[in-house]
Structure 1
Amino acid sequence: MQDYYRLLGVPFTASQLEIERAYQQQKARLSRRTADPAMQARLQEVHTGYEILGHPGRRLAYNVLLAQEPPAPAPPPSALQLMLARYAPAARWLNAALVAFCLLLALDWALPPRQYANEVVLVRQIVSVSSSASDPQMAYDVTTPRTTFRVPSRFGHRVRKGQRLTSVSQTPLLGIVRRIVSPPTAPGEPAEIKVSGGTIYGSFSLLPVMLLIVAGLGLLPGRSPELRVNTAVVGALLAVVALVVLVWF
Structure 2
Amino acid sequence: MQNYYRLLGVDSTATASEIVQAYLAQRTRLKRLAADPAMKSRLAEVEAGYGIISHPRRRLAYDVLLAQEPAEAALPAHYAAAEARWHHYARIARSLNVALLACCLLLGLDWTLPLRQYAHETVQSRFPVSVPSALSAPEVAYRVHTAHTSFRLPSAIGHRVRTGQAITVWQTPILGIVQRISAPASPDGPAPFRPYGGTIYGAFFLLPLLLAAVAAVGTWPGHSPETYVNTAAVGALLTVLALVVLLCF
Asked if Structure 1 and Structure 2 have the same fold, meaning a TM-score greater than 0.5 normalized by the shorter chain, the answer is yes
Query: 2:197 touches 2:203 (CA, 8 Å); kept in 1?
Result: no
Residue 216 of structure 1 is matched in structure 2 by 216
1:67: Cα distance to partner? 4.2
1:229-248 correspondence runs (5 A): 229-248=229-248
Query: 1:198 touches 1:246 (CA, 8 Å); kept in 2?
Result: no
SS at match of 1:192: coil
Select 1:114's aligned residue among 101, 109, 116: 116
| TM-score when normalising by structure 1 | 0.65
CA pair 117-60 structure 1, distance change in 2 beyond 3 A: closer
CA pair 120-79 structure 1, distance change in 2 beyond 3 A: same
CA pair 63-80 structure 1, distance change in 2 beyond 3 A: closer
CA pair 77-153 structure 1, distance change in 2 beyond 3 A: farther
Instruction: State the one-letter code of the partner of 2:87.
Output: A
Select 1:99's aligned residue among 98, 101, 125: 101
1:60: Cα distance to partner? 8.1
1:223: Cα distance to partner? 2.5
1:168: Cα distance to partner? 0.9
Q: What are the superposed Cα offsets for residues 19-60 of structure 1, whole Å, 9 maximum, x if unpaired?
A: xxxxxxxxxxxxxxxxxxxxxxxxxxxxxxxxxx5xxxxx98
Query: 2:126 touches 2:142 (CA, 8 Å); kept in 1?
Result: yes
Q: What do you get for the CA RMSD once the two structures are aligned?
A: 3.6
CA pair 224-192 structure 1, distance change in 2 beyond 3 A: same
1:111: Cα distance to partner? 0.9
Residue 176 of structure 1 is matched in structure 2 by 177
| TM-score when normalising by structure 2 | 0.65
Query: 1:178 touches 1:197 (CA, 8 Å); kept in 2?
Result: no
1:44-193 correspondence runs (5 A): 64-65=64-65, 67-69=67-69, 74=75, 76-77=78-79, 83-128=85-130, 130=132, 132=133, 137-165=139-167, 167-183=168-184, 184-186=186-188, 191-193=191-193
Query: 1:112 touches 1:172 (CA, 8 Å); kept in 2?
Result: yes
Residue 196 of structure 2 is matched in structure 1 by 196
Bigger-Rg structure (1/2) = 1
Query: 1:196 touches 1:247 (CA, 8 Å); kept in 2?
Result: no
Instruction: State the one-letter code of the partner of 1:233.
Output: A
Of residues 219-228 and 238-247 in structure 1, the stretch that sits farther from structure 2 once superposed is: 219-228
Gaps of 5+ in 2: 2-13, 17-56
1:190: Cα distance to partner? 8.8
Instruction: State the one-letter code of the partner of 1:174.
Output: L
CA pair 185-77 structure 1, distance change in 2 beyond 3 A: farther
Residue 206 of structure 1 is matched in structure 2 by 206
